[in-house]
Structure 1
Amino acid sequence: MTTLRALECLVALVEEGSVTRAAASLQLSQPALSHQLAAIEREIGTPLVQKLGRGVRVTAAGLAVADEARVALRAADRAVRAGRRVGAGEGGRVRIACAETMTAWLLVPVLRHWRSRRSEVDLELSEHTSADRMVELVVAGEVDLAVGPRPSDTGEHLEVLGEEEVVVVAPAGHAFGDRDSVRLADVAAEPFVGFAADNGLSVWVDQLAADHGVVLDPVLRTRSPRTAAQLAAAGMGVTIVPVSALAARPPGVVRPLRPVVNREIVVVVAAPADALVARFVADLHRRGLPGVR
């Protein structure tokens, strides 16, 4: 396969009209330039240059190849410049998967910053209710990074962004309003608004209850932690949600658990060496989790 360097040598010869001047313009020796031209001739099977007593003359085949070589060299130059722009954060695309409760809570300030400072970068966002599902998308190459609670297991590159608190939500006027914090055993004694099986919180909350030796008996289930908080505030029962689900604070009672329960928030990255993705992750770290410094 003919190299770009060989094509560059041919174009230089056509433009300079002399092997000596062409070699000098490329900072090559004359034998090195001749070697590159010979490689093209072997590949196409016909001479590119005819030696004359007073110098050389590029053949019709050589001129035809040089015309196309200019196109290839311009394309190669554009490719290099595009790569540099993306590496500098001035172009490209970042595909983000995010836990649905965290878009407004965590991502919006970073996304807004990128739209104002890096407007040439295309941002694609998808929202999910399962950390494990987001990791599947990372592994499949469908997203570049995933932001949310720690998945149950992954071999992908993972960075901890911080911890968010998990709280209890109850209706206004509920007895929990007279307490500074609520035990999980007290939550278990109440009608509980739980989560659909395809929401990662379903397993997480069940495991939390099991760790404290209690059983939660949901009176209804929803896929959305935000909806669960709103249903609890509306009198459907009580629920347990991460604080990111309270971006629009419900009118009911919100209390911390006793003892305090936090969950890690992480970013899972498909290609840590990707300069553009690394810049986005760095901005997530700089921003930090709301209320955590």
Structure 2
Amino acid sequence: MLDVRRMQVLHTVTTTGSVTAAAARLGYTPSAVSQQVAALEKEAGTPLLERVGRGVRPTAAGLLLSRYAADIGARLAEAETALADLRAGRTGRLTLHYFASVGPTLLAPALARVRDAHPGVAIDPRLTEPDDALSEVEHGRADLALVVRRPSGEQQGIRVVHLLDDAYQVVLPAGHPLAARQVIDLGDLADQHWVGSEPPGPCRAPIADACAAAGFSPRFVAKSEDYATAQGFVAAGLGVSLIPRLGLGARHPGVVVRPVRAPEPVRSIHAVVRESSLEQPALRALLKALKAPTGA
């Protein structure tokens, strides 16, 4: 196999026209340059230089390898520039996975801030289920994933960053008797008809756990897996619902929203990233933006 460094030495000899001149340019001794060329000739199995007066000139094989060395040098320079751009956050690509309810209110403003600071970085956000996001990061298919609840156990090479606690609030039909209160005890909703707002999974768990702590199990008369439809059901008078604050960016005009206590259901939102990905300035900027969302 040909040694790339020796090829670079040969290229310097052919461009300067002598071993002595090449040694001066490279900071080597003439003897060291001669040894490098001799070793390369052994690898190539053919002479690479021939003497002409006090200088040397490349043989056909030497000229061929010198040209390749020049190409390799140019590509290495391009690689060094590309690497510097990547490390400085001027270029690159980030793939991130998120779940629907954090897209408009948490993720979108953060992405806008990162795009302004790192316009050369391509960002690829992909909608996925919260339960699937961790494995996407572990297997290198995503640089960052947003999840509900901290993953159990420790995964080597994975960092979990707490972003925020998103409290659920009660959504009532306009004119509901409880709407006159500024804060509503969760237990006061025990006898109400309920509209489900969450699919099975980690986002529904805080509701079930809080209701159990308040001593009841919700009586669902309608279920939806998106917050806009759930609000529509509530506005129509089908029942009450619990929806997280981040899911209430767009409110139906026919509902009233109030805080809940005793207890307050909360979902904990985390970012999951690979430790190696944190070397990317754009990813660090995205984490910072997610931890300080506008309007939070």
Which range, TM-score by smaller chain? 0.7 to 0.9
SS of corresponding position for 2:119: coil
Measured at CA, do residues 18 and 27 of structure 1 come closer, stay the same or move farther in structure 2, by a change above 3 Å? same
Contact 2:143 2:277 in 1 (8 A): no
Cα distance, 1:61–1:239 mapped onto 2, change above 3 Å:
same
Shift of 1:291: 4.4
**How far apart are the structure 2 equivalents of 1:186 and 1:56?**
96
For residues 240-274 of structure 1, give each alpha carbon's deviation from its aligned partner in whole angstroms, at most 9, with x where no partner exists.
12111011122211111113343322211123433
SS in 1 for 2:203: helix
- Which residue is 1:282 aligned to? 288
Compute the displacement of 1:63 (Å): 0.8
Could you tell me which residue of structure 1 aligns to residue 111 of structure 2? 111
Match 2:215 to one of 213, 216, 221: 213
Whole-angstrom distance in 1 between the partners of 2:286 and 2:33: 44
Q: Which runs of 5+ in 1 are unaligned?
A: none
Residues 1:205 and 1:30: Cα distance change in structure 2 (over 3 Å)? farther
Match of 1:127 in 2: 127
Q: Secondary structure of the residue that 1:138 maps to in structure 2?
A: helix
Q: Distance in 2 between matches of 1:265 and 1:211?
A: 21
Q: Indicate the percent of aligned positions where both proteins have the same amino acid.
A: 31
Match of 1:193 among 174, 192, 195: 195
Deviation sequence 1:41-68 (CA, Å, 0-9, x none): 3433223233566243322111111112
Which stretch has the larger CA shift, 80-89 or 46-55? 46-55
**Is the 2:114–2:285 Cα contact (8 Å) retained in structure 1?**
no
Residue 228 of structure 1 deviates from its aligned partner by: 2.5
Alpha-carbon distance between aligned partners in 2 of 1:34 and 1:220, rounded to the nearest angstrom: 85
Shift of 1:275: 1.7
Q: Which amino acid aligns with 1:278?
A: R
- Matched with 2:97 is 97
User: Corresponding residue for 1:64?
Assistant: 64
Q: Given the alignment of the two structures, is residue 269 of structure 1 paired with residue 273 of structure 2, yes or no?
A: yes
Contact 1:9 1:37 (8 Å CA) reproduced: yes
Residues 233 and 239 in structure 2, CA contact (< 8 A), matched pair in contact too: yes
Which letter does structure 1 place at the counterpart of 2:194?
A: F
Q: Which residue of 2 aligns with 1:136?
A: 135
Tell whether the 8 Å contact from 2:183 to 2:260 is kept in structure 1 after alignment.
yes
The CA deviation at 1:36 is 3.6
Aligned match of 1:240: 242
Deviates more, 1:81-90 or 1:34-43: 34-43
Match of 1:257 among 256, 260, 278: 260
CA distance, structure 2, for counterparts of residue 12 and residue 29 of structure 1:
14
Secondary structure in 2 matching 1:273: helix
Paired residues in the alignment total 289
Contact 1:166 1:257 in 2 (8 A): yes
Letter in 2 for 1:253: V
CA 1:80–1:232: 2 relative to 1, 3 Å = farther
- After TM superposition, the score normalised by the length of structure 1 is 0.87
Q: Which piece of structure 1 moves more, 73-82 or 190-199?
A: 190-199
Deviations 1:20-43 (A, max 9, x none): 222222223334434443443343
